[in-house]
Structure 1
């Protein structure tokens, strides 16, 4: 029989603890790195790999000192094929070098060995695509994500599970069941995983687990209507929709209520539209961060 392969061991503090510290130090802003064709054109760049690389690395260098995390949108790299994924690998390595947490917005979800392969790609030690965390889709069942959740725990990385999104189509699945909704069951499952975590608050940071949730910043009163208690989950909450997509900091404080300290607000286009000048990008990010504070 072949020798058993050694299991990865965490060479870093748990992701939730690292994210809480980053939020306490830099504020609760996640800066999206979304190389949309329209933004490349606005920056005077061609919609090709060279333009993609310049856009991404310029944005990262400008935003890393301001944001608790950066979130590259994986699809916008994939559309350039293998060369685009090579740029993403370079971006993730550069983020590590700049000591800013990375969230690969890949929304992966599958079953069995396929899910394990996705986990290895985005969370495995030695993978060129490994980020500090990755977004996951639970709509083949929350437990189908177990290979990624377990690998993240072993390597000190994290996951963000789609919980309650603000796209109009989402309600047709996520809200089904009302007070026993699909979304509520997913969110409570994440809380159960975090209850088993070694969750330790810092002197000025919330106690966060490493299984995060994606909750749209513009879900409005849906959390209350579905009876969802985010604070009980101890989950970091990635909240896309802040800024250009319509949610203000005041809106988000109303939406998230007692879970506000867990919220990592994402702004992409609202910040990136200030490029390509690095000073303009940083000023836009600082403005967004200060609004959240």
Structure 2
């Protein structure tokens, strides 16, 4: 199961998942052009330098897509390189749609053999968690994972995610985010019978402080892995991770720490060392 492979990789290397985010300023710092060729080189260098040093990488699709078909081709090559190196991929695409459209996105990213396939993808539940059914089903069938946006690190997300639904879900409170977590937990329970972690997780920011507790739920009760941005450049560290998730979730390798600038800023020759240093600082 995806979650078992992810936890095994985290046990070996630590919780850090490095984003492959070829921002323009990073392309310049790496001496690369602001072109599809530049992002291709950025992606491939990152994979080469980090393979065997981190649990997973998280390519941000938008930075590749902005260059059109050539950029998408660069993303395909980056994903292929990860597969060749045995490096787990969480493709950050935040897909979320209904019916056959969601099924199309799922087929693109969760079908073995697809050039844009990944081990897991990020998805948005804000057309309703039920609308993600095709992604849940295909991920389960193909041993892939999903990370569903719940409590994100951007401050404006609270307007929707903290909103009250008017109906409580046992153990998850009555917020929109809590209802998302409850739906993910139910999907995992269908696969695991409540034993161990399932393949479906949440995106919960390391910068949210007491928000989850204030809303009446524990993100780790989703029954799957948790992808947490916000560490490093956004200001969160070990103390913030402990506040949001507690020591138990961290020690059982349930929390995947998504980091980009704090590692990528070290340059291609310094990536592996920066990742190892951060992993050492965050290990329980």
Class of the TM-score when normalised by the shorter of the 2 chains: over 0.9
- Residue 257 (structure 2) pairs with residue 265 (structure 1): yes
Contact 2:202–2:222 at 8 Å: present in 1 too? no
Cα distance change, pair 200–286 in 1 and its aligned pair in 2 (3 A): farther
Alignment partner of 1:103: what SS? Answer: strand
Q: Distance in 2 between matches of 1:232 and 1:213?
A: 10
The answer to whether the Cα contact below 8 Å between 1:64 and 1:70 also exists between their aligned partners in 2 is no
Q: Is the 8 Å Cα contact of residues 17 and 199 (structure 1) preserved in structure 2?
A: no
Given candidates 211, 216, 230, the residue that maps to 1:222 is: 211
138-147 vs 37-46, which moves further: 37-46
In structure 1, stretches of 5+ residues that fail to align are 1-13, 202-206
The answer to whether the 8 Å contact 1:20/1:208 transfers is: no
**Partner in structure 1 of residue 169 of structure 2:** none
Is the 2:64–2:74 contact (alpha carbons within 8 Å) kept by the matching residues of 1? yes
Mapped partners of 1:161, 1:126: distance in 2: 23
Partner of 1:8: none
Query: How much does 1:200 deviate?
Result: 9.5
Gaps of 5+ in 2: 166-172
| Shift in Å, 1:255 | 1.4
User: 2: CA distance between counterparts of 1:87 and 1:147?
Assistant: 27
Distance in 1 (alpha carbons) for counterparts of 2:18 and 2:239: 19
Structure 1 contact 166–216 (Cα < 8 Å) conserved: yes
2:177 to 179, 183, 196: 183
Task: Please name the residue that 1:288 is paired with.
Answer: 278
Work out the CA distance in 2 between the residues paired with 1:229 and 1:51.
41
Alignment match of 2:150 (pick from 144, 155, 163): 163
Query: Quick one: structure 1 residues 56 and 116, their matched pair in 2 at CA, closer, same or farther if it must change by over 3 Å?
Result: same
Partner of 2:168: none
| 3-state SS, counterpart of residue 101 of structure 2 | helix
* Structure-2 separation of matches of 1:21 and 1:121: 26
In 2: Cα distance, 1:200 partner to 1:249 partner: 29
Q: What is aligned with 1:238?
A: 227
- 2:202 counterpart of 1:208: no
Give distance in 2, aligned partners of 1:244 and 1:62: 21
Mapping of 1:134-153 within 5 angstroms? 134-153=121-140
Matched with 1:11 is none
For residues 76-115 of structure 1, what are the structure 2 equivalents within 5 Å? 76-115=63-102
* Structure 1 pair 126–219 and aligned structure 2 pair: CA distance change class (3 A): same
Q: Secondary structure at the match of 2:77?
A: helix
Q: Distance in 1 between matches of 2:235 and 2:202?
A: 20
Q: Describe the shift of the 1:231–1:274 C-alpha distance in structure 2 as closer, same or farther (beyond 3 A).
A: same
TM-score (norm 1): 0.90
**CA deviation after TM superposition for structure 1 residue 199, in Å:** 7.3
Please identify runs of 4+ aligned residues in structure 1 that moved more than 6 A: none
Secondary structure class of the residue paired with 1:196 = helix
